[in-house]
Structures are given as C-alpha cells and as structure tokens.
Structure 1
Amino acid sequence: MKLKQAVTGIAALACMTTAAHAQSAGSFYVTTGWFHLAPQSNSEPLKVTSIGGSPTNITEANTGASLSSADTIGITAGYFVTDHIAAELVVGYPPSFDLEGSGSLAQFGKLGQAKQWSPTLLFKYYFNAPTAAFRPYLGIGVSRIWFTDEKITNSAFQANVLHGPTSVTTDSSWEPVFNAGFTYAFDQHWFAGFSVSYLPLSTTAKLSTAANTPVGTLNVQSETKIKLNPIVTYVNIGYRF
C-alpha cells in the first residue's frame, strides 16, 4: 500500500512539473535579444514639388536612394490567451539607418541618416502541445512606424544637387507585420527563440531646401517615396513566469 501511495505521489508530482513547464493559457513571458533589420529598399526619383512657393512637378531623372541594414537590442512581453494563442508587445531601441545614394547619386555615398521607431503588437499561433520543448509558431500583427533625427549629412550632395542647406521630414504610418519563428524551452522558466518578420513598409521623405539661385535664396520643396520592406530577424532568450 505504501509503495502504491509513493508511486501515485511521484506520478502526481511529475504531472505538476510537466504542467509547470507548459507554455499554456495564463502564462506570462518576457524576452530580450538582438534584432537585425535588412531593408529590401529602393526609391522613386527625387521630385521637386515647389520653388519659392510656386507648385512644380519636376522629376530629377536617374536619382534614387536605399537604406543600409541596422542592428539593435529589443525586448518583448507576451501572454498566452489560450494554450496555442499568445499576444505579444515588441519594442526595441531605435536603430539608425544610413541613406545611400543610387543612380546618379551613388557617387555621393551616404546622403543622410534617421532613427526608426516601430513598436509592434503581434498575435501568434503556437503549434505542438503546451508541454513540448520545441514550439514553432506563425504570427501576424501591426506596427506603428515613425522616424526621428532625420538629417542630410553629405555636404557635397547638399551643395551640388540640392543647392543649399536642407531639412528632412518623413511620414509615419501603421503597417502590417508577418511573423514566423520558434521557441525551445530549457526548463520550466528559461527558453530561447528565433523569429523572422516582414513589414511591407514605405515612407515619403520630404525635403525643404534654402536653395541658392541666380535670383537669391528660394525655398525649394522636394520629396521621394522610399520603399523599405525590411526583413527583421530576432534571436532571443526568454523567461516564463
């Protein structure tokens, strides 16, 4: 009888331990790790939209730009709504992107830079049982994108193409996020993960130039639409409560 009770007790303890390992409904978790952002970028030609306050529609042929890749640290916080569905908030320290000239602007190299902010809300569907160590998932969500510290840093580009000191602003937007990845649990609390995300993202960069002209200094407005479409990878370590 005592042996039977002991076996029953061990079995019950094993079930409790297994349950503690589960990424199941009601579980909270946090992760931190490294983001690599790889824009698949290109841009439309630079278009002059206004000179001295008068509307224009002048396209500067064979001009373009692309963005460099960037790395940054990030954190996430998530909650399992069910055994298979989790909601997750993703934030990262804003990475700085370099704007590189293309076409006739390639000779100038780096034209400017900007920092990107993109807090994201994801909903993920996890496969396999909550007790499984390895759990792949698919996710979809939305990200709020905006840029700060936008500036032209290339004096030769400003002098020879824009013809004067120039300030830059960019659009903000809501964008969809498509996500896939997996987690691997080491024990009841610690796990590691990897994910890949894609954002179909574009923004319009608007330039305001105090241009030197034969009739004096005029305000020149120009713009270009830049497609970023970044592929974002995230390698992380996490803790489940």
Structure 2
Amino acid sequence: MTPSKKILVAAALVASAAHALAQQAGTWSVSAGITHIAPSVDSDSLSSPSGTVPNAKVDVSSDSRLTAAVNYMATDNINLHLPLGFGFRHDLSGAGVLAGVGKLAETRALPITLIGQYRFFDANARFRPYLGAGLSYVKFYKERGTALLTALTNPGGAPTSVSFKSKLAPALQVGGVFNLNEKWFMEGSYTKTFLKTRGTLSTGHTIDVGLDPNCFTLQLGYKF
C-alpha cells in the first residue's frame, strides 16, 4: 500500500470513529443511574384559622433514588431530555420554635419534567457540555402526618392528616455528556427547580414552604 493510500485509509478510519461518536439530529438514547434531590427550604410560619403560630416552621429532608432518562436529539445541538423515576420520599421535621421536636410528616414527590438542552461543540465531540431549561410538574402523594403532628395541632383529637399542593415549576440545568465509545456514554447534571408549595392540615392549619430543590444526577447511557 502506497503512503498516499495509507493516509486516505487512516483519514477514513478517523472519520468513521468520529461519526460513530456523533449525537446528531434524530439520535435516541436512554440512560440510568442515581439522582440525589436536596431541597433548599424556606419555610413560612404555620398558620391556623385563628392566626399565625410565630416561627413554627418545617425543614425537609433529602433523598436519593435510582432514575432513568430518555433523550432525543431534535437537531445536532438541541436535545429533548425526559427524566424517569418512581418518586422521592421526603420527611418533614420541625424548625424554628419546633426545632428538635422530630418528624412531623412525610410525603412522596414525583417530578414529571421535560427539559430542552443546548449541547455545545460538534455532534462528534467526545465531550459535550450543555445548558438546559424546562418545566417540572411535581406531584405530591402518599402524604402522612405523624402522632407528633397530631399532638401539636389536635391533642386528644382525631389524627391530623396533611396534603401538599402539586405544582408546575420552572427548571434550569447544566451538565455534560462524555462519550465512552460509539454506543455508551456517561452523563452528569445539576438541575435547579424553583418550587413552592402549600401544606394543608385537616385541622385547618396551612404552611407555605419554598423547596427549590437541587438535583444532582449521574447516569450511564446507551445511544441507538
């Protein structure tokens, strides 16, 4: 083989490898891994029909779960990202004058999210950072008040139940994709959702809570 032919073969192999790494328009991919959600809690004071209970606030715990995602490259640079999961469990404990009293309630939260990502660099780049924005509908379910909540809000009476209002909230995202080979990739992201909800107790008490969760995700993915 002549030197010129060797150069042409090498160039073809490089082009082939680059194309194999591509995430161009029309590419589908799936991924799975772990997501950690840490709320940035800003709680108002508990209110009752007769007035506000000064500085009676709540804190909300973090949770980590296995998650998945589906991606579709609408163009060479714009990706539609749909996270998948079975919901996160969060405990509510006392804060402010209620600090240290213990667990007051628990709830599950299922974020249903769609994010549009702009991926930088060429479609055949090994690493592609991105910025994203979208909307998340957070569904609260399986809420449960504890005996402690009943003792504080309805002593000697029926157990106090609680519900949280499901809300639509904007979300911003930053992350990156690292292509391991022509099919497999690693993806890491940070998502901030701007979420506030209201908890309503069966006793008539309410409490507004800013959650604004920080979401950290690391997943292994496969391209089709």
Secondary structure, in 3 states, of the residue corresponding to 2:122?
coil
Note the C-alpha offset of 1:9. Answer: 4.8
Equivalences for 1:90-169 in 2 at 5 Å?
Answer: 90-153=83-146, 155-163=147-155, 164=157, 165-169=159-163
SS in 2 for 1:65: strand
Picking from 211, 224, 237, the partner of 2:207 is: 224
TM-fit CA distance, 1:158:
1.3
Q: Deviations over 1:138-174 (max 9, x none)?
A: 0001111111110112x23312333231111111111
Which residues in structure 2 correspond to 1:44-59 (within 5 Å)?
A: 44-49=44-49, 57-59=50-52
Distance in 1 between the 2:121 and 2:100 partners? 52
Aligned residue among 192, 206, 226 for 2:200: 206
Q: Deviations over 1:55-98 (max 9, x none)?
A: xx411112000101111111110111111110111122211001
Paired residues of 1:33 and 1:234 also in contact (CA < 8 A): yes
Structure 1 counterpart of 2:219 = 236
- What residue number does 1:173 align with? 167
Cα distance in 2 for residues equivalent to 1:202 and 1:100: 17
Match of 2:53 among 52, 60, 63: 60
AA paired with 2:73?
A: F
Query: Which entry has the higher C-alpha Rg, 1 or 2?
Result: 1
- SS of the counterpart of 2:20? helix
Counterpart of 2:33, as a letter, is G
What whole-Å deviation, never above 9, does each CA across 1:111-155 have from its counterpart, x for those lacking one? 1100001011010001111111111100001111111110112x2
Q: How many residues align?
A: 222
* In 1, Cα distance between equivalents of 2:191 and 2:162: 28
2: distance between equivalents of 1:107 and 1:89? 38
CA contact (8 A) 1:108 1:157 kept: no
Note if contact 2:153-2:160 (Cα within 8 Å) is conserved in structure 1.
Answer: no
Is residue 83 from structure 1 mapped to residue 76 from structure 2 by the alignment? yes
Q: RMSD value over aligned CA atoms?
A: 1.7
Shift of 1:2: 7.3
TM-score normalised according to structure 1 size? 0.86
Query: 1:52 maps to which residue?
Result: none
Matched residue SS, 1:159 = helix
Are the equivalent residues in 2 in contact too, given 1:134–1:184 (CA < 8 A)?
A: yes
Q: Distance in 2 between matches of 1:187 and 1:4?
A: 28
SS in 2 for 1:25: coil
Flag structure 1 segments of 5+ consecutive residues without an equivalent. 50-56, 209-219
- CA distance in 1 between counterparts of 2:85 and 2:30 reads 13
Does the CA-based 8 Å contact 1:115-1:147 persist in structure 2? yes
For 1:233, the aligned partner's letter is: F
Give the whole-Å Cα distance in 1 for the aligned partners of 2:173 and 2:149. Answer: 38
Q: CA deviation at 1:226?
A: 0.9
